[in-house]
Structure 1
């Protein structure tokens, strides 16, 4: 009988074959066997036997996290962000190219980010590059190629102002130039899709009333920008991914594009699936994000698209800032930084609403592990399967938690989920077969391929 480093015995585990009882054998940090039954005949130097109320999930994957280090480390940082991820059952994140200074739009910017991350990460971390006007002009796209060769997973682009001066947004012509260059080396572009012309024509955000802020980011802005992304992807053949879809109005466009064979994927976020505009209090700027949280009716349509497979994955878009930048004292939605902090509580937030709607833990794994893994192009992640990294989340799906923002590992105590009563507690998180020790960072920096 082969002697393994670790055996995990679970009466309930979510695998690619569905939820079932298994014994998972781990050696050398990888899953080497998934045996039927929690009492399978096997030998291990260590054993973890799950409690009766626990379920074994693959480590969750969050492909949309703003870590902000270096440059804005007071907003968040690799140490705090990856601790929060681990506590939320997330074993792999992919870091966005902003709001760090420098942004990850050059090889030098990527090197700076990797240098500060290397000894600080409690989970595995990959990196997106950035497509900005400086590297998306005809004849000036060599930096995109260089970043691709350095192993970034794709390229983030904004079609409207990003909120920080050092990461500019692309015009339609620049988008096409970037996508042609990215498609030439087989890469993908991921897009913040809001149309600047529509935004400029909308009422300016101001004051404490959330309805006024919502009017400043209308559905039409997403609809128009997603149409541009689709048509550019159709013309160039380049893989495109729509980030943080909030408006259900674009779903028919997406559905038709998929039917036409356009290489397009789509994500949404926990806050769009669990919160609703009608319930956001006046002045509650912790709920401000762009694109915005929309109506409960819109939320229902997003859920339908997610369950039907039109939306590929659910990721956090964790975009924190210091408390003062959220203008909590004035509650002015016009001046507050836009971003929701939710990395640590994403699983519980989505599961609370998902189970109410009849979804299963297998659905959760498809949305929050398998989907982000596929979209980002990660290897060895997202499933309890032979040959994959031995990354796991042990969860108690029926346990109730109450979110206290002061107890989250996020660097700043601001979250739209503060005080929320949620279902599903992450009890333990394992990375390559070892329980994560938040005081001894052991995550790896990942590169494509």
Structure 2
């Protein structure tokens, strides 16, 4: 099938390579049938440069760190932050340097160098992105604190139910309502026509999902994704103190999980993504194909749907016309795998991310073994062995 494209990776390189890094992260990607990663600006020490400064310093740091260290192709999202949102020259320099689009947070990101944005910042960012016809990706949660919230959060911090209360679905709903006030600008004839809004890792299958469906039906240029862990796990089964399952937005209850599956199968949710992140996020880069297949088969998921969610639509979002499908003239990015082969994800299974034990999927029995991965026609992984040299290429927007 076409090689998978993950548009939401955190490789933390350069700088925080004790968390992950280009060599280990892209080796894991290749072993999982992923041929292209689009790296988020969050957690790299070049984040500050890549988000805000002129094209030379930040882009050079990123590309230099990636050169000869990546086993799959890697592109880069830039950052939209309050400091650059109203500076058209800064944003245009970032996009001219090759950023495939921009990413912003509507809640604290956890990193001081990447402060949160509001709808005014997002509106300004979309107006610049419209000129380049590139997307804005948004982490859609707006914190809404109250005394009762603080009291709940103070209850037994080891309980997953306590963490779940600290990030209710209303946070997602509030952010998406605010986002949709500016997404109207992306419609044909709107001031930001040509820009595109993409909501990352949706977890709320209630009001948030309904708002996004309505916006799409109204003609807004909007897409949204969910993640395999929201489809594989439910809050009820997470054990106390097991922080491997911590992510934001959080994993919600079983009923919510079923609704997400139905929205994915009905075509409302556009694609799937992963986020590989040591301090918050489900570490699963190497396993997204077998995880999606294992849990999806009970819903009748087809190989064509897998290719749509993991290849075709992510390629379109990232503006990669030569990726996402097996066709004459395309890059020969191909994953070869056995859908019916089962394997135990245990300590004996080769795992290439830096910290295998933190993955919530360890201990699982999965179906779908990746045998080989080709990137631009180069065999980069075959049955437990990687190519002797990293031959992935950095991807920069023209």
CA displacement at 1:199 relative to structure 2: 8.5
Range 247-256 or range 79-88, more displaced:
247-256
CA displacement at 1:141 relative to structure 2: 2.9
Q: In the alignment, does 2:232 pair up with 1:232?
A: no
Q: Of the candidates 119, 136, 157, which is equivalent to residue 207 of structure 1?
A: 157
The 3-state SS of whatever aligns with 2:223 is strand
Q: Distance in 1 between matches of 2:44 and 2:81?
A: 14
Q: State the match for 1:119 in structure 2.
A: 68
The 3-state SS of whatever aligns with 2:335 is strand
Higher strand proportion (structure 1 or 2):
1
Q: Of the candidates 298, 310, 314, which is equivalent to residue 268 of structure 2?
A: 310
Q: In the alignment, does 2:275 pair up with 1:297?
A: no
Q: Of the candidates 109, 114, 122, which is equivalent to residue 175 of structure 1?
A: 122
Preserved CA contact (<8 Å) 1:85 1:343 = yes
CA displacement at 1:201 relative to structure 2: 7.6
Q: State the match for 2:305 in structure 1.
A: 363
Q: Of the candidates 368, 373, 376, which is equivalent to residue 315 of structure 2?
A: 373
Q: Of the candidates 385, 391, 398, which is equivalent to residue 442 of structure 1?
A: 391
Q: Of the candidates 173, 185, 194, which is equivalent to residue 223 of structure 1?
A: 173
Q: State the match for 2:19 in structure 1.
A: 75
The 3-state SS of whatever aligns with 2:395 is coil
Q: In the alignment, does 2:325 pair up with 1:383?
A: yes
Q: State the match for 1:59 in structure 2.
A: 3
The 3-state SS of whatever aligns with 2:36 is strand
Q: Distance in 2 between matches of 1:82 and 1:434?
A: 14
**Change beyond 3 A, Cα 1:200–1:90:** farther
The 3-state SS of whatever aligns with 2:296 is helix
Q: Distance in 2 between matches of 1:181 and 1:224?
A: 25
What TM-score comes out, normalization by structure 2 length?
A: 0.91
Preserved CA contact (<8 Å) 2:379 2:387 = no
CA displacement at 1:183 relative to structure 2: 2.4
Q: In the alignment, does 2:147 pair up with 1:147?
A: no
Q: State the match for 1:397 in structure 2.
A: 339
CA displacement at 1:382 relative to structure 2: 1.0
Q: State the match for 2:188 in structure 1.
A: none
**Change beyond 3 A, Cα 1:264–1:201:** farther
CA displacement at 1:110 relative to structure 2: 2.3
Q: State the match for 1:89 in structure 2.
A: 33
CA displacement at 1:177 relative to structure 2: 2.1
Max radius of gyration: which structure? 1
CA displacement at 1:221 relative to structure 2: 0.4
Q: Distance in 2 between matches of 1:443 and 1:374?
A: 20
Instruction: Please give the per-residue CA displacement for 1:251-287, whole angstroms capped at 9, x wherever unaligned.
Output: 1111110111000011111101111111000000000
Higher helix proportion (structure 1 or 2):
2
Q: Of the candidates 339, 352, 367, which is equivalent to residue 409 of structure 1?
A: 352
Q: In the alignment, does 2:130 pair up with 1:186?
A: no
**Change beyond 3 A, Cα 1:400–1:384:** same
Q: Distance in 2 between matches of 1:410 and 1:207?
A: 28
Range 222-231 or range 168-177, more displaced:
168-177
The 3-state SS of whatever aligns with 2:260 is helix
Q: Distance in 2 between matches of 1:359 and 1:199?
A: 41
Q: In the alignment, does 2:202 pair up with 1:251?
A: no
Q: Distance in 2 between matches of 1:112 and 1:412?
A: 24
Q: Which runs of 5+ in 2 are unaligned?
A: 186-191, 381-385
Q: Distance in 2 between matches of 1:200 and 1:315?
A: 35
The 3-state SS of whatever aligns with 1:256 is helix
The 3-state SS of whatever aligns with 1:346 is helix
The 3-state SS of whatever aligns with 2:286 is coil
Instruction: Please give the per-residue CA displacement for 1:67-113, whole angstroms capped at 9, x wherever unaligned.
Output: 00111111000000000000000000000011101212132222211
Q: Distance in 2 between matches of 1:307 and 1:268?
A: 12
Moved over 6 A (4+): none
